[in-house]
Structure 1
Amino acid sequence: MSIFERHFCKYLQKPVVFSLKNATLSLMSRQEHKNLKNLIEAVPTGFLVDSTWLESQGIGRRSAYAYVQRGWLERLERGVFRRPASGAPATNAIDWKICLLSLQNIMHYPAHIGGMTALSLQGYSHYLPLGEKNNIWIYGSKIPSWLEKLPLNAELRTRSVSLFSNPELGIDDRRHDHDKTASSLPWDWTLVMSSPERAILEALDELPDQESFHNLDMAFESLTTLRPRILSDLLSCCKKIKVKRLFFVFADRHDHAWRKRLNPNDFNLGSGDRALIKGGTIHPRYRIVVPEEYVRKEQRDGA
């Protein structure tokens, strides 16, 4: 038993006065004991919660302040707390994965990891920037404002889920694979993230300002096992013409087996030319300006 848990047990064993005068206080004390017990069971050491979640557990601002004073919580940012590890020195460094696991598995915010981050975590991208923090792409309809204020060991980039008319399509959520309870162990938790099929479309949406053609090209090279049916569904509900045209530019360039199962004519690719970058070449089939090397010689000659 840790020092923290021994301290908590000692706190629970304090005598409760049952006089009529203190009856209300006694009931409040028992409720506070229950709330603190639930907190310890639901939040592993090192993981995060915010004031909204605490209030849903019956822990108001005054109680949260008392928990901080007693060392049961550590305040990280306004309205954001971490359960400290017993005996470990307080530190501001927060691992982004613990932050996201807390966001998804404890507080249940509708947010997922997507884009190049999801591709990298699933083994489809091996590019790591040198001399700077990794960009972590987070997508969600209700991302809390405090997320980007935390001192994480990565740079968070937040986006909405407006790219698709069906915002939940293609999200890999394995949290329901296990019969999870409040006392489930954190090493069983999984990150909610985009499937490779969705993630590549999210990444294409960041061209050319936030992602590079080279990085997307390297990712496409490894995407040999994409599922045509899921791709078809995602392309059908993708709202951006730019993203769909770029997808087929890269898909034709790498010509994986799944490409033969997709007909560009089945999707709304819009009309007219699209100028994505300056100094590039218009793709003769998909009518979008891309770097010259992304247009095959025979396509240029036939244009």
Structure 2
Amino acid sequence: MHYPVHIGGATALGLQGYAHYLSLGDKSTVWLYGAKIPNWLEKLPLNADLRTRNVSLFSDPELGVDDARRNPDETASTLPWDWKLVMSSPERAVFEALDELPDQESFHTLDMTFESLTTLRPRTLSALLSSCKKIKVKRLFFVFADRHDHAWRKRLDPKDFDLGSGDRALVKGGKIHPRYRIMVPDEFARKERGHGA
């Protein structure tokens, strides 16, 4: 129907094989992102809980969206009627999922997801970090990236990106991360080996 909508966040990560846990229960959650999502979409009787978000997280709303409509040769999920499923790349999807902390996503689930993100592309991550408008998301990205210290982390220098100034409160009863100055659960504020130390 030509609406500029894509699947993102935890849904895109799961569809691309990065989900650590299977969802239990009758309904799964599907995260949809777009500038103009029709109001009737959330009212459809579906066996999934649709959560919609705008694309304002990035200054370039198309960055990191693997759009098979523009790149027909790309390998994307193909639906039975030959429409391509438009979704966030794993790099973009992780930023979208981090934006949902702590209300819609859990630190533990994202920690387990980050553990499997060994093949992210540093250039794409760098472009997304530069385009990301939320200090909270960029700081959280580095908290998790330092914690897991994958090979791509060595190619990203936090000093190259605007991480803002001052402390940021995120969770009640947490601790301020010693390097990235954002309040996170205690286990995420401990000094880690690698880049976060």
TM-score, normalised to structure 2, is 0.91
- The change in CA–CA distance for 1:247 and 1:298 in structure 2 (over 3 A counts) is closer
| C-alpha distance in 1 between matches for 2:93 and 2:128 | 10
| C-alpha distance in 2 between matches for 1:173 and 1:236 | 21
- The change in CA–CA distance for 1:245 and 1:175 in structure 2 (over 3 A counts) is same
| C-alpha distance in 1 between matches for 2:62 and 2:98 | 18
What CA deviation, in whole Å up to 9, does each residue of 1:268-292 have, x standing for no partner?
0000001100111110000001111
The structural deviation recorded for 1:174 is: 1.4
The structural deviation recorded for 1:171 is: 0.2
What CA deviation, in whole Å up to 9, does each residue of 1:162-220 have, x standing for no partner?
000000100001134449xxxxx944322100000000000000000000001101110
TM-score, normalised to structure 1, is 0.60
| C-alpha distance in 2 between matches for 1:160 and 1:114 | 11
State the partner residue of 1:173: 67
1:254 aligned to 148, 156, 163, which one?
148
One-letter code of the match for 1:230? Answer: T
2:39 aligned to 145, 157, 161, which one?
145
State the partner residue of 1:241: 135
- Percent identity for Structure 1 against Structure 2: 80
Q: Which runs of 5+ in 2 are unaligned?
A: 74-78
Matches within 5 A, 1:292-303: 292-297=186-191
Answer yes or no: is 1:285 the counterpart of 2:182: no
Answer yes or no: is 1:276 the counterpart of 2:184: no
**Contact 1:116–1:137, Cα closer than 8 Å, also in 2:** yes
What CA deviation, in whole Å up to 9, does each residue of 1:83-141 have, x standing for no partner?
xxxxxxxxxxxxxxxxxxxxxxxx11000000000000000113223224111000000
| C-alpha distance in 1 between matches for 2:35 and 2:72 | 25
What CA deviation, in whole Å up to 9, does each residue of 1:226-262 have, x standing for no partner?
0000100000010000000000000000000000000
- The change in CA–CA distance for 1:291 and 1:192 in structure 2 (over 3 A counts) is same
Over aligned residue pairs, what C-alpha RMSD do you find? Answer: 1.8
**Contact 2:121–2:152, Cα closer than 8 Å, also in 1:** yes
**Contact 1:128–1:134, Cα closer than 8 Å, also in 2:** no
- The change in CA–CA distance for 1:125 and 1:278 in structure 2 (over 3 A counts) is same
Bigger CA radius of gyration: 1
**Contact 1:280–1:292, Cα closer than 8 Å, also in 2:** yes
**Contact 2:91–2:125, Cα closer than 8 Å, also in 1:** yes
2:3 aligned to 89, 104, 109, which one?
109
One-letter code of the match for 1:115? Answer: G
**Contact 2:26–2:47, Cα closer than 8 Å, also in 1:** no
| C-alpha distance in 2 between matches for 1:152 and 1:212 | 25
One-letter code of the match for 1:287? Answer: R
Q: Which runs of 5+ in 1 are unaligned?
A: 1-106, 180-184
One-letter code of the match for 1:229? Answer: R
Q: Relative contact order: is structure 1 or structure 2 higher (C-alpha 8 Å, sep ≥ 6)?
A: 2
1:208 aligned to 102, 120, 138, which one?
102
1:190 aligned to 84, 99, 102, which one?
84
| C-alpha distance in 2 between matches for 1:292 and 1:176 | 44
| C-alpha distance in 2 between matches for 1:254 and 1:298 | 9
| C-alpha distance in 2 between matches for 1:152 and 1:218 | 28
One-letter code of the match for 2:69? Answer: R
